[in-house]
């Protein structure tokens, strides 16, 4: 391959890397902000926090469309068919993600989120008929092994918390796979997927919140007059939009599996930060060893995935 072709391949891979980096940063920030709102301030309603994030998404994208900053399809009867089942996966991912963030320490949240990688790989094998090299499979095994070691010594084990996080893994994996499909040429595009996802699910989610009493708990929350809480709540709402946009953008430029891998990269920082920030991590050497194995597997997995992506780009340029 010529030097020019190599440079073109590296340039072609730049949006893939930058979109992945953007997703990693957004995911890291929103995890910390959500943890602050739900745990440090003890905000009682993860559903209402999710509603705030959906409303922020709708307002931002609608304003951008009106001002012709972004473009996406106007609503018609075909929208529901085009976007299904993303709204169901989106709300499931949102609710279980916020619930598990509230109930689990940051490091354990991070470790158990690793099962998303295995679930995504399985879904891509059976749904998208993909195959993976043995080295990539071995790195996944290392990640899962580390997660199991860490979880086995979790002194704060709770059946409900683990159920929420594993459900969140399944919703995330399915969401990543189907998002890749929906942002394609025959789908709604990046902004259409984001906007109509939020529009379709915000009212049912608000009704569910009111019916369960979650909305009332949020309304009588004592810290609504605190400036620090309002800032954190507002940041969470904005970051909800930023996170969803970063996921769609990463899925647009990369595979669903690569998007999931990026979450593993982000988790390296989140896990170790959570040991010192949050105040709810119960230290044990077994748990710490599991975290370390998990993170090393995640780094190897990430390296193999992005190396493969760059090789494929070079091969395409060479042809």
pLDDT of residue 278: 55
pLDDT band, residue 65 (cuts 50/70/90): very high
Better pLDDT: 75 or 111: 75
Better pLDDT: 125 or 305: 125
Task: Round to whole Å and give the CA distance between 249 and 22.
Answer: 9
pLDDT digits 0-9 by tens, 162-206: 888 889 889 988 888 887 777 665 567 788 888 988 888 888 888
Mean pLDDT value across the chain: 79
Better pLDDT: 65 or 286: 65
pLDDT of residue 311: 59
pLDDT band, residue 50 (cuts 50/70/90): confident
pLDDT above 60 (res 37)? yes
Task: Round to whole Å and give the CA distance between 92 and 90.
Answer: 5
CB atoms within 10 A of CB 310: 16
**Range with the poorest average pLDDT among 98-107, 114-123, 237-246:** 98-107
Residue range 81-103: average pLDDT?
77
pLDDT above 70 (res 268)? no
């Amino acid at each position: 391959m010529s030097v020019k072709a190599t440079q073109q391949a590296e340039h072609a891979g730049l949006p893939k890397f930058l979109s992945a980096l953007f997703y990693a940063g957004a995911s890291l920030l929103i995890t910390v902000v959500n943890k602050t709102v739900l745990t440090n301030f003890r905000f009682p309603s993860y559903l209402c926090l999710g509603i705030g994030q959906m409303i922020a998404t709708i307002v931002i994208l609608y304003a951008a469309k009106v001002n012709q900053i972004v473009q996406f399809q106007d609503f018609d009867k075909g929208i529901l068919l085009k976007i299904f089942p993303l709204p169901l996966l989106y709300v499931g991912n949102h609710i279980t993600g916020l619930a598990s963030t509230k109930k689990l320490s940051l490091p354990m949240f991070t470790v158990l989120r690793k099962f998303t990688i295995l679930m995504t790989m399985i879904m891509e094998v059976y749904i998208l008929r993909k195959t993976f090299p043995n080295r990539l499979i071995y790195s996944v095994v290392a990640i899962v092994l580390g997660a199991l070691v860490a979880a086995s010594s979790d002194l704060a084990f709770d059946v409900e918390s683990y159920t929420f996080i594993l459900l969140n893994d399944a919703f995330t994996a399915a969401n990543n796979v189907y998002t890749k499909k929906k942002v394609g040429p025959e789908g709604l595009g990046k902004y259409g997927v984001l906007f109509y996802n939020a529009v379709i699910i915000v009212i049912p989610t608000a009704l569910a919140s009111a019916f369960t009493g979650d909305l009332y708990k949020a309304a009588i929350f004592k810290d609504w007059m605190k400036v620090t809480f309002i800032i954190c709540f507002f940041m969470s709402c904005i970051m909800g939009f930023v996170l969803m946009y970063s996921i769609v953008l990463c899925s647009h430029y990369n595979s669903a599996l690569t998007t999931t891998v990026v979450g593993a990269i982000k988790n390296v920082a989140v896990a170790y930060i959570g040991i010192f920030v949050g105040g709810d991590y119960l230290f044990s050497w077994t748990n710490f060893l599991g975290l370390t194995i998990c993170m090393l597997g995640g780094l190897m997995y990430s390296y193999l995935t992005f190396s493969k992506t760059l090789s494929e780009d070079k091969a395409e340029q060479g042809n």
